[in-house]
Structure 1
């Protein structure tokens, strides 16, 4: 039970810092600033639901992808660690996103809301490469069904929190202010970088042991 609680905390912490609802919030706000509250809620709901489904699918099919492309968990840990580290570094530099979207090019409001809910909000802002790598690695960490359920609950919980962030995006941004957002973004960036280093070391150590023929 203690191990399961630790795994739950690891899942929630990893996913929350990688998804980072705070960094999605200003982008979401800028894209939905001209929409009424009802449509904004619908966009937020569709984006978070789509992202959650994508993460669950990648978590379930991760082992199959490994077999098809001959990918090892250790290699993915190394790549995931590098991705996390780069993301964390950019967050520390207070770079929220490079994505820009010109809403004036879309004439149909329905088409616009459908487009932004899936791309770029669901992918890659919420379910980005870091989050996808994270769920695959976490899924492979424990083989028990109960641990897999814990991961799915964690994905649902982080998605719900992200939805609430998007739902109250404008009040949150106004309350925190630009300086507050940058400070919190840098703190989260540091956490992401630390997680990235841990993933990198945990993936590199078994590979070096195999190369050097050192027993664990």
Structure 2
């Protein structure tokens, strides 16, 4: 029986919010906006939504083609999430990505928002939560992404550098706990 479960929706929404880290991405978004002049928040948000929902439905088929199961991918995903969490907590970049002279879709929608960490997380979540609850979490996060992109100048002034740093570290600790939970729930030792 498939039904919407508020607890699952809340969990998925918070996990995706932490991994997408749209608030932590504000400095990068500001840098891109300064280079290109304007970010089309509608285009970027639609691209994020399409990428995440598409990967949610075909990601496991892609894994089957290369002979991997979701639990193995979830464990690999937990390790990626662990590293991202450590980046957020320690302020060190393990993943280096150059920002090209593009605009809303690349690099904002992909890989900044709906990148490898988000895609890995979606498949990891699929091993623990019902698909319809994950989809609601994706839609809610896309709305937050849109609102942040639309109001990035205002948020920059409101939070300031110290506020952004505190948020990034707090979400890093949450992600670290999520990574450990995903690893433990997908290993059968």
TM-score (norm: length of structure 2): 0.88
* Deviation, structure 1 residue 95: 4.8
Which ranges of structure 2 fall in alignment gaps of 5 or more residues?
none
> 1:131-142 counterparts in 2 under 5 A?
131-142=118-129
Larger radius of gyration: 1
Equivalence for 2:48: 51
Deviations 1:69-94 (A, max 9, x none): 11112211111110111000001123
User: Distance between the aligned counterparts of 2:92 and 2:24, measured in 1?
Assistant: 9
* Deviation, structure 1 residue 45: 1.7
Equivalence for 2:138: 155
Q: Report which of the two has the higher share of helix.
A: 1
Equivalence for 1:211: none
Secondary structure of 1:179's partner? helix
Note if contact 1:89-1:193 (Cα within 8 Å) is conserved in structure 2. yes
Equivalence for 2:19: 18
Deviations 1:136-158 (A, max 9, x none): 2223435xxxx322211211110
Structure 1 pair 155–3 and aligned structure 2 pair: CA distance change class (3 A):
closer
How many positions carry a matched residue from both structures? 187
Note if contact 1:66-1:72 (Cα within 8 Å) is conserved in structure 2. yes
Q: Which of these residues, 55, 72, 76, is aligned with residue 75 of structure 1?
A: 72
Note the aligned Cα RMSD (angstroms).
2.3
* Deviation, structure 1 residue 101: 3.5
Equivalence for 2:28: 27
Q: Which of these residues, 80, 88, 92, is aligned with residue 91 of structure 1?
A: 88
> 1:197-208 counterparts in 2 under 5 A?
197-204=180-187, 206=188, 208=189
Structure 1 pair 140–78 and aligned structure 2 pair: CA distance change class (3 A):
closer
Equivalence for 1:120: 107
Which ranges of structure 1 fall in alignment gaps of 5 or more residues?
104-114, 209-216
* Deviation, structure 1 residue 100: 4.3
Note if contact 2:22-2:113 (Cα within 8 Å) is conserved in structure 1. yes
Note if contact 2:52-2:119 (Cα within 8 Å) is conserved in structure 1. yes
